[in-house]
Chains A and B, each alone.
Chain A
Amino acid sequence: MGVKGLWDFLAPAGRRVGLETLSGRWVAVDASVWLTQLVRAMREADTMRLVRNAHLLGIFRRCCKLLYYGVDAVFVFDGAVPALKRRTQDRRRRRRDRQAARLRRVAERLLLMRLHRERGKGERREVAEEEDAAVGCVVEQAVKEAGEEEVLPGGGMTAMEEEEEAETPLQVPSVDEVDWEAVASYPASMQKEIIAELVRRINMETYGAAAQEETERDPSAFSQLQMDRFLRATELKMRVRNARSQLQERDRSGRRIASDTTREYVLIKESGSGVRETISSARETTPEAPVATSPVPAAPLEYDSGTGWANVAQPHGLFAAAGEYLASEGNARPSGDSRDAAMGVSCGVVAPTKATVLPEPPSSPSASPASKSPREVDDDDVDEYADIAWSDGEMVEREFVADDAETPSEHDFRLAEDESEVPALPRSSPRESEVSIVRESEDAPAAEPWSPARPTEMEVRPQPETPPSWSDTGKSSETPNHNKVVVDGARDVSTEDAIAGHGVLSPTPSETEPDTCDSHDPTPSVSPAAPAADRSNHALSPETASARAADVRASATSAISAPPSSPPDEPDADLPLDEAQLRAQWQSLTKQTDSISNEMVLEVRQMLSLLGIPFMQAPAEAEAQCAHLNAVGAVDAVVTEDSDAFLFGARRVYRHIFEESKYVEEYDMAVVERDMGMDRDRLICMALLLGGDYTDGIYGVGIVNAAEIVDAFCDAASASPAERDAFPASQGLQSFRAWMEAVDTEEPAATKKRRQPPESEDKRERFQRVHRNVRRMWHLRDRSFPNRHVIDAYCRPNVERRWVLPDGRRAFAWREPDVAGLEAFCADKFGWDAVRVREMLQPVLRAWHACRRKQMRIDAYFHPHRFARIRSQRLQTAVRGMAYGHTARQTGEGERRESGAAEEVPLLAGTEEMMLPAVAPVKRRRKTTR
């Protein structure tokens, strides 16, 4: 949001004033930011469910406060997102994704090395656990290191994954046709793309309120999150691998699916046998369980249960690229729901076909997400693919349905091949058809060996004849036998939901095996195992076994009915900490997923009119509209959190108006111009250098450098008259660019000679001398820098002008709040009774009347001193250079200014205002006796 670092830069020109000083002011409020904030912030602590009508409640409270303080506000709502901004967002996201991919690769490689070494030592399972831990550490380190190298260790991606979980934000009519399952199953970067696209479309249609959402995310938080998940995921995969190899040794025909400390589930292929059989066999084996799970296997597998599995999911998501082609191949569309085909894509390899052996073909979805290492696929490909997949979704599906029905195995086979080439692993590739089974068995061996050649130790778990199963192993309780363990917990929950919603899962009880369904678990964990011939070698706890059928159904239904926002709980007895962590993650992520719907905006408008507060709809960005109103004098100030407002021409900006502290930050453009030497043009230059909503800026340039550059190059006074005609500042940037790109042309000897500062160098020369070396570290992100369009976007934003009356004033009318109307409204929206509403409104009304004749406060006219100072010496010098021109440079260095700006007052010939020493920080009244 806004220009990077601009607030910090401007802080020294800011003042902290009490909210009451705004009393009587006309302000334009950038309401969209509020809406976004409120929707994110106002959640119930435990369930994370949005407080009912949070946006209204928040706005209502804030309006009451504004009215109480006699601030006359005009609300401005966002319109469409400008193309430039959208473009920048896209670019940024892509970059982030790429970084994330690189990061993962590093981690993978490290892990691989480790695994190799491990191999060498022999397959000792006893060590498995320690190894896991060790590997975890290594990976962690690797990831961390990598993370440090990257400027933007991929944020966002995980976020997008999570976004699916709470589907709420995107459920807009226009998007109704979208297959959410399909989206969910795309690799993360694709998902992001798709969602972005949808959001954009929605915004274009309506109010574009959600536009800022993406930019607002905190990349570092997300990257952290992602790293964590990746770590856990890799660790888990390791364990699974170990367990598998172990198992294979012991029992050639069985495959362990899941286990925990006391049980383990093994899947054994037996064609023709149904789930029920499996269950029974499970029961039989139950007693053995403890025995069967020999200490060795039990240990590593222990973690696999519960969250462990959930984590497995992550890799699926993380190895985002994975599904791309796989998806196309893997589109097994079970049953008649052609729509769901898309979902198949997500799964990567899904091979259930009606035509196949399955008794109840339609209802047995097979999910086998195959993931491929991202290595092969670069983002562009992903994007392309996404587009294609998206647009052609249905068509493709149908094709695949047909194809798959006939030759599911082939697809799989291909997949396997692909994977072996690419060290990527399909998670699971269940085959239902007998034919495919055969093939699979072939494939399986090929795919399965955990040869060092497969850096990504994702597993292929082909289970012949076993129908695909979505197994959400959230719980430690019972794990069903599914052929493949492909399911991911957290991430897949969304997919599962989606599937469930489409009725794909409407599994026939006999077929489905619910994975772990805790009765109390709000998250639907469904693992319908298709008719699989399972024989569990080891125990299924009796209770669970018996309860299973019921659970399946329950879980299926719960999956369907579960509200999207319900927390995907993955309680794991073994890892309580983990759960807490996950939960925290989830909470923070959910907050980001909601966006502003058109309806919300309409409700807010209705409320505003009841409150007698005028509002308007900006054609594009609300802050630009606010700034325009301010610039033409229709309002006294702008209330926004977006520093862009200055660039759009705002004269006075209030920030942090509703923070808990009783102060509001006030930024007066006149002060900025006087003290910082920054006029609007120069601020735009700063934006071009720093990067903002419209442009990426220059890599390596922060506020200090930017200020110096602007000081050195964008001196309007030095511009020739011709230059001044256009946009003088941009000419300066042009020459800055020319200089920057001429790095190598300068001869070292020549530069050396010039090391001694010549007597008479001007600002620009000096800057060039000082930064001769530094500039190598800068590089343009935007080839077209300085981009005219960006400058234009700032200089001539798309704003509504006809709202402004010729004389500016009284363009808006404030009315007395409509008490009766508000009573009805509040009763409707918040469930408040009339008494409560009146109680709330009483002080507001009183203040409203009082405001019509009120005593002003002296600090509405006289302002306290600044609360922030320029800390960086270089920045000070640059700023001073701009504020005072050349004279300042001659007078000396920074300390001078610091010790007493008053001394410099003479420089401001005939100052209109005494410049008092910027010493007094803002203080509260504190009285103590010394």
Chain B
Amino acid sequence: MFEARFTEASLLKKILDAIKDLVQDANFECNESGVALQAMDNAHVSLVSLLLRGEGFDLYRVDKPESLGINLNSMSKIMRCAGNNDSVTMDKVESADTVRFLFESPSADRMSEFHLKLMDIDSETLEIPEAMYHAEVELPSAELRRIVADLVTMGDSVRVSVSKEGVRFTVKGDEGSGSVILRQSTGVDKPEDAIHVLMNEPVEQSFALKYLNLFCKAAPLSARVQIKLSRDAPLLVNYAMSNVGHLAFYLAPKIGDEEDEQ
């Protein structure tokens, strides 16, 4: 038996919106501590890692760890049937081959129930090393989304370099090139707009803007976003959801650019 209730359907909706374009099918691994999802996109260039802690739910109960193989598009369709303020209950009895979604309006006068067929999805779970990152940047998620949205029109890859002066996003395209620099700012007036740049070593790496653009769809989940870079590791874009968990994206770099540009 697995049962989990969210107070608000909107959170689940946002999560689905953020990842359903990257990943089609995924296993929701449910165990005592919470729900985890890990999946790569088809090209194996990026990886989504979602964690929803049990404490973040209204009600959370897992008798035996379960793996729910779900087509995210189908789930997203079902979630669209829920009002933003509705509460959502997901449950599944053992040996059932469907998962049930139960939506209740805040006033408890409307209830809807959907069943979603489960799938067997064989996918490999990757070990993600807790690497030490050479640089970490924390910034408003809207800021990142804007930068990426701007640059994606210019070219298909962005060069991210972190140095003492700040973090620089550079794009080179057929028509021209451009760059955005963000400097460290404490955001005296608005702490939520602060930009923190933490650098152990300067890093410079290229990434496909296409993927970054998809990652930024998670912006509604959190006002702040963390970017971590390391020379020999994928980029980490992390959206922390207070009290609930996090949604993290990993993106493999493009390599070979350095020689071209230097």
Contact = CB atoms under 8 A, between A and B. Distances in A.
A854 B255 contact: yes
Given A854-B256, A858-B40, A859-B40, A913 B125 contact: no
A929 B97 CA distance: 9
A805 B167 CA distance: 35
A858 B97 contact: no
A853 B260 CA distance: 8
B128 A856 contact: no
Contacts of B234: 856, 858, 861-862
Interface residues of A, number: 30
A659 interface: no
A856 B124 contact: no
A863 B117 CA distance: 30
Contacts of B119: 927-930
A901 to B, nearest CB: 12
Contacts of A753: none
B113 interface: no
Nearest to A916: B127
Nearest to A855: B254
A637 to B, nearest CB: 15
B63 interface: no
B37 interface: no
B233 interface: yes
B43 A922 contact: no
A863 B127 contact: yes
Given A929-B119, A930-B97, A24 B233 contact: no
A925 interface: yes
Interface stretch (B44-52, B176-184, B217-225): B44-52
A928 to B, nearest CB: 5
Contacts of A861: 232-234, 250, 252
B8 interface: no
Interface string B88-114: 000000000100000000000000000
Contacts of B232: 861
B126 interface: yes
Interface string A857-889: 111111111000000000000000000000000
Given A913-B129, A928-B119, A865 B124 contact: yes
Contacts of A926: 120-122
B208 interface: yes
A341 B256 CA distance: 68
B95 to A, nearest CB: 10
A913 B254 contact: no
B259 interface: yes
A754 interface: no
B254 A920 contact: no
Contact of B122 (A851, A856, A912, A925): A925
A923 interface: yes
Given A852-B259, A929-B117, A930-B118, A860 B124 contact: no
Nearest to B96: A930
Nearest to A930: B97
Contacts of A856: 45, 234, 252-255
B130 interface: yes
Contact of B124 (A24, A913, A923): A923
B44 A859 contact: yes
Given A858-B126, A916-B127, A928 B120 contact: yes
Nearest to B251: A858
A852 B256 CA distance: 5
A860 B117 CA distance: 33
B120 A927 contact: yes
A914 interface: yes
Contact of A24 (B46, B128, B129, B255): B255
- Chain A binding surface, main DSSP class: loop
A853 B125 CA distance: 28
B25 interface: yes
A755 interface: no
A865 B123 CA distance: 11
A858 B45 contact: yes
A858 B46 contact: yes
A914 B127 contact: yes
B192 interface: no
B252 to A, nearest CB: 4
Best-surrounded residue of B128, B130, B233, B260 (most CB of chain A within 10 A): B128
Contacts of B117: 929-930
A121 interface: no
Interface in A891-930: 912-914, 916, 920, 922-930
A860 B252 contact: yes
A863 B125 CA distance: 8
B126 A862 contact: yes
A860 B233 CA distance: 9
Contacts of A863: 126-127
B245 to A, nearest CB: 16
Best-surrounded residue of A855, A861, A863 (most CB of chain B within 10 A): A855
B21 interface: no
A857 B120 contact: no
Contact of A914 (B97, B121, B128, B252): B128
Interface string B202-223: 0000001000000000000000
A859 B129 contact: no
Interface in B230-262: 232-234, 250-257, 259-260
A855 B207 CA distance: 8
Contacts of A859: 40, 44, 126
B45 to A, nearest CB: 6
A6 B126 CA distance: 26
Contacts of B255: 24, 853-854, 856
Nearest to B250: A858
B122 A923 contact: yes
B29 to A, nearest CB: 11
A925 B25 CA distance: 10
Contact of B252 (A857, A928, A930): A857
Given A855-B45, A856-B252, A856-B253, A862 B121 contact: no
Contacts of A912: 129-130
Contacts of B46: 858
Given A857-B43, A912-B129, A913-B129, A927 B256 contact: no
Given A925-B122, A925-B123, 7 more contacts: A855-B254, A856-B253, A857-B252, A859-B40, A861-B233, A862-B234, A923-B124
* Ranked 10 nearest A-B pairs via Cβ: A923-B122, A864-B124, A862-B126, A853-B256, A856-B252, A930-B97, A926-B122, A857-B44, A858-B252, A852-B256
Interface of A: 24, 851-865, 912-914, 916, 920, 922-930
6 contacts: A858-B126, A862-B129, A865-B127, A923-B123, A927-B25, A928-B120
